[in-house]
């Protein structure tokens, strides 16, 4: 006979990024962050903001894993989170019910949290927009979840195809969320000026009339291309 798991397994204490590391990503486009991580880090394309956002969301991830049709772990993460944290709720992509609504997000706002990222669904669109916290999710449904567990808080999860640990940095804009592993934060920050400079230089050339960039033209005229007909 298999023993029933605990309702919740919670890790409250985990390494966190420094305030300076978080500040370094303020107003940084997610595309630049991904480029600084060699083209990786973005969550699945279906995870998008419920409404267009005007600012880049940056914060520390506090993870939770919720079972199908359940959000007990999300409430536990809400209780364990610190001001400025971003709730990161993994549902294994379950779409039969929502995982959050306007009331839970209102509580998150009252606790000083910055937002929510989930591979599940939300409900109460009008109410959530009224709360004012950004919610990144896979869609909407009126169906509501139960609060029965089991679940985890503060332990690693996989969400949107990306492994995420509590203490990782979340950067999100209208293109979607990107996860920066905490241990890589300083290296990514160090690469950002080079990424921005290269992007600005190419943007200036495009505005000046560039049609085909040199790095593509060199491929098209190389011996690696075979012309037929």
How do residues 120-169 score in pLDDT, each as one tens digit? Answer: 999 999 999 999 999 999 999 999 999 999 999 999 999 999 999 999 99
CA pseudo-torsion sign 63, 66, 69, 70: negative
In this prediction, residues 188-192 reach a mean pLDDT of 97
In this prediction, residues 50-59 reach a mean pLDDT of 96
What pLDDT is stored for residue 4 in this prediction?
86
Structural domain includes residue 80: yes
Please name the residues in contact with 171: beta carbons below 8 A apart, sequence gap of 6 or more.
25, 28, 30, 33, 56, 57, 58, 177, 178, 180
What pLDDT is stored for residue 171 in this prediction?
98
What pLDDT is stored for residue 185 in this prediction?
97
Tokens of 107: 């509580």
Please name the residues in contact with 14: beta carbons below 8 A apart, sequence gap of 6 or more.
154, 165, 166, 167
Structural domain includes residue 226: no
Tokens of 29: 């486009």
What pLDDT is stored for residue 2 in this prediction?
79
Structural domain includes residue 195: no
Q: Are 148 and 74 in contact (CB under 8 A)?
A: no
Domain assignment of residue 157, given as a range: 8-183
What pLDDT is stored for residue 170 in this prediction?
98
Structural domain includes residue 19: yes
Structural domain includes residue 225: no
What pLDDT is stored for residue 65 in this prediction?
98
Mean pLDDT of the chain: 95
195 has a pLDDT exceeding 80: yes
Question: 16-31: per-residue pLDDT in tens?
Answer: 999 999 999 999 999 9
Q: Residue 60's beta-bridge partner residues?
A: 169
Cα separation, 162 vs 158, whole angstroms: 5
Question: 73-88: per-residue pLDDT in tens?
Answer: 999 999 999 999 999 9
What pLDDT is stored for residue 183 in this prediction?
97
pLDDT tier at 1, thresholds 50, 70, 90:
low
Integer distance in angstroms from the first to the last C-alpha of the chain?
70
Structural domain includes residue 139: yes
What pLDDT is stored for residue 144 in this prediction?
96
What pLDDT is stored for residue 79 in this prediction?
98
Tokens of 67: 């079972």
**Number of compact structural domains in the chain:** 1
What pLDDT is stored for residue 229 in this prediction?
81
Q: Are 112 and 142 in contact (CB under 8 A)?
A: no
**Residue 72 sits in a domain of what CATH number?**
3.50.30.40
Structural domain includes residue 133: yes
Structural domain includes residue 76: yes
DSSP 8-state secondary structure symbol assigned to residue 163: E
Please name the residues in contact with 126: beta carbons below 8 A apart, sequence gap of 6 or more.
102
What pLDDT is stored for residue 70 in this prediction?
96
Angle at 24 between CA 23 and CA 27, to 5 degrees: 85
């Amino acid at each position: 006979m298999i023993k029933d798991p605990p309702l919740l397994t919670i890790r409250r204490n985990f390494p966190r990024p420094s305030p300076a590391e978080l500040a370094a990503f303020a107003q940084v486009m997610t595309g630049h962050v991904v480029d600084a991580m060699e083209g990786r880090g973005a969550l699945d394309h279906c995870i998008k903001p419920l409404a267009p956002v005007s600012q880049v969301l940056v914060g520390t991830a506090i993870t939770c894993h919720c079972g199908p049709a359940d959000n007990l772990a999300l409430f536990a993460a809400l209780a364990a989170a610190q001001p400025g944290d971003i709730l990161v709720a993994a549902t294994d992509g379950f779409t039969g019910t929502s995982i959050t609504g306007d009331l839970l997000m209102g509580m998150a706002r009252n606790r000083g949290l910055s937002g929510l990222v989930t591979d599940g669904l939300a409900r109460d669109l009008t109410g959530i927009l009224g709360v004012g916290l950004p919610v990144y999710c896979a869609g909407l449904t009126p169906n509501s979840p139960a609060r029965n567990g089991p679940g985890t808080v503060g332990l690693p999860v996989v969400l949107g195809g990306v492994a995420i640990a509590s203490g990782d940095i979340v950067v999100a804009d209208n293109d979607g969320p990107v996860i920066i592993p905490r241990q890589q934060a300083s290296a990514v920050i160090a690469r950002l000026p080079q990424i921005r400079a290269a992007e600005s230089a190419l943007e200036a050339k495009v505005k000046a009339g560039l049609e085909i960039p040199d790095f593509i033209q060199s491929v098209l005229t190389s011996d690696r291309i075979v012309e037929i007909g």
